[in-house]
Amino acid sequence: MTEARRPVKKPPMREVLAEAAFQLFLERGFERTTVDDIVARAGVGRRSFFRYFPSKEDVVFPDHERCLADMTALLEAADEGDPVSTVCDAARLVLRMYAANPEFSVQRYHLTREVPGLRTYELSVVRRYERTMAEYLRGRYVGTPDGPLHAEVIAAAVVAAHNNGLRSWLRSGGEGDAEAAVDHALGVVQEVWGAKAAGAAGPTADDDEVVVVVASKSTPMWRVVQRIESALAED
Amino acid sequence: MTEARRPVKKPPMREVLAEAAFQLFLERGFERTTVDDIVARAGVGRRSFFRYFPSKEDVVFPDHERCLADMTALLEAADEGDPVSTVCDAARLVLRMYAANPEFSVQRYHLTREVPGLRTYELSVVRRYERTMAEYLRGRYVGTPDGPLHAEVIAAAVVAAHNNGLRSWLRSGGEGDAEAAVDHALGVVQEVWGAKAAGAAGPTADDDEVVVVVASKSTPMWRVVQRIESALAED
């Protein structure tokens, strides 16, 4: 009763719009929600919406465009180190975008699973990340046999590994260490595709050293590679 | 002038509808073409359309549902051989669907590149193939460390390799050997992920034999793997 009146901090317009959109998508589905519905719920004008978001989908994935731009910049600025390690770093930008706002990311994860239109939109975005990485790798593999093929396969593997780690974290409700989950998953790709010296915790490259591997012929190739990796780590 | 009159063979309704739809998509875009437009152009009733195709997209990709069912059946019937080899066989079903009708496939390839709605639909279909393969691999990798992660990464790599081979063939206008292009691409995945005995041209597994590889530490891992593969082939 005697509580002092404090100024209520208004949430930013961007968040008000995103909140209204989320409510409506859950209530009536993504396809049947219009931008007009969203601005009515948020109590703002139609123009405000388009000042913040180019489309209805962007309300749900507001940061992908910026992240794609960051990824392109990272890849353009990358030095001549291991290309696979570089695209793994690029993938980590996406993870960090999700991890910056766990609650929103987990809520969106559940929404996206329920709304086919959003799943489709997400697929398109993921594909753009994959293409960005593949394009970088193609540039790095110019002149090597099957360069473009390796570029596309590795980009797809990096994206799949990243998404596996990201999904584990999202399914856990955004608890735990998102970076560790993704690092572990990306490690599987780096084991087989990366230059051996690429791992942050791995040994530095030394052209004079050699590795000898002895393996039974029936051992799956990735187990052979794991053994090579551990031999190097012990070194 | 004296040419004998021969009965003109009417193309099947399915093809008449697909042809009309293709013309309209190219003329006015996918999004702005309705099913009513398509049946009007084809000169048939609306019901005929839905007898053949559940949606507008299915006119463009009429065989994916059947192919997905075939893939599921192939994977369910697969024996205990190399799982990576099995999913590569599953991927070849998709290739054969495209290769069965080169002209249509090439035409669709160009249409799909021009129509965002079709690209999105295609992404969804590709994702369904990938999930089908990943699910199979998860089952095969039960109890192995990081089984689900390996399943997802390998499925993504197989899909990327398959699509690389398929696209090369489509870009060539459907000339040349589609199967050879895809086999070569899938070989890159089998090199690193498959059991070594999996390759059709490779040696049979022999637990008593060993392979020794000596490589400079700065060699990229996939080159090391290529060397292991060629050592095995020479054996």
Q: Where are the alpha helices (DSSP H) in chain B?
A: 13-28, 35-42, 46-52, 56-60, 64-77, 83-99, 102-114, 116-140, 147-171, 178-193, 221-234
Sequence letter at residue A168: S
Q: For residues A189 and B222, give the distance between their C-alpha atoms in angstroms, rounded to a whole number.
A: 11
In this structure, what DSSP letter does residue A220 have? B
Nearest-Cα distance to chain A for B155, in Å, is 9
In chain B, which residues have their Cβ closer than 8 Å to the Cβ of A214? 210-212
State the Cα–Cα distance between residues B160 and A157, nearest whole angstrom: 9
pLDDT digits (tens, 9 = 90+) for A140-182: 999 999 999 999 999 999 999 999 999 999 999 999 999 999 9
Residue A130 and residue A132: Cα distance in Å, rounded? 5
CA distance B198 to B229: 11
**A25: which 2 tokens?**
């998508």
Is A197 in Cβ contact with B222 (below 8 Å)?
no
For residue B122 the two structure tokens come to: 């295609």
Q: Using CB atoms, which residue from A209, A216, A225 is nearest to B217?
A: A209
Question: How many contacts does A have with B, using Cβ atoms within 8 A?
Answer: 163
CB contact under 8 A, A192 and B124: no
**Residue A230: which pLDDT band, with cuts at 50, 70 and 90?**
low
At A169-223, the pLDDT tens digits run 999 999 999 999 999 999 999 988 887 533 332 333 344 455 666 666 667 777 7
Q: Do A185 and B220 touch (CB under 8 A)?
A: no
pLDDT given at position A9: 66
Highest mean pLDDT: which of A23-37, A60-74, A189-203? A60-74
Gap from B78 CA to chain A (nearest CA, Å): 18
Environment class of B135 (CB within 10 Å of its CB; exposed 0-12, middle 13-18, buried 19+): middle
> Which pLDDT band, with edges at 50, 70 and 90, does A14 fall under?
confident
Contact A124 B127 (CB under 8 A): no
Backbone dihedral angles phi then psi of residue A139, each to the nearest 5 degrees: -65, -40
**Token duo for residue B166:** 């398929």
Chain A residue numbers with beta carbons less than 8 Å from the beta carbon of B211 are 213-215, 217
A222 vs B185, B192, B216: nearest CB: B192
Chain A residue with CA closest to B83: the answer is A220
Q: Which tokens is B76 given? A: 């369910």
Beta bridge partners of A195: B220
Which of A227, A189, A188, A194 has the alpha carbon at shortest distance from A211? A227
Residues in B touching A125 (Cβ below 8 Å):
none
Contact yes or no for A95/A162 (Cβ under 8 A)? yes
Contact between B218 and A212 using a beta-carbon 8 Å cutoff: no
CB distance B219–A161 less than 8 Å?
no
Q: Quick check: A53 pLDDT over 80?
A: yes
Least confident segment among A2-11, A49-58, A103-112, B8-17: A2-11
CB contact under 8 A, A225 and B221: yes
Residue to substitute from A159, A183, A221, interface B, most B β-carbons within 10 A: A221
A232 contacts B228? CB cut-off 8 A: no
Is residue B198 within 8 A of residue B84, CB to CB? The reply is yes
Residue partners of A80: CB distance under 8 A and separation at least 6: none
Looking at per-residue confidence, does B155 or B118 come out higher? B155
Contact A156 B157 (CB under 8 A): yes
Do the Cβ atoms of B217 and A224 come within 8 Å? no
Residue A112: both structure tokens together? 């996206």
Domains of chain B by range and CATH?
10-59 (1.10.10.60), 61-195 (1.10.357.10)
Distance (Å, whole) CA A103 – CA A169: 12
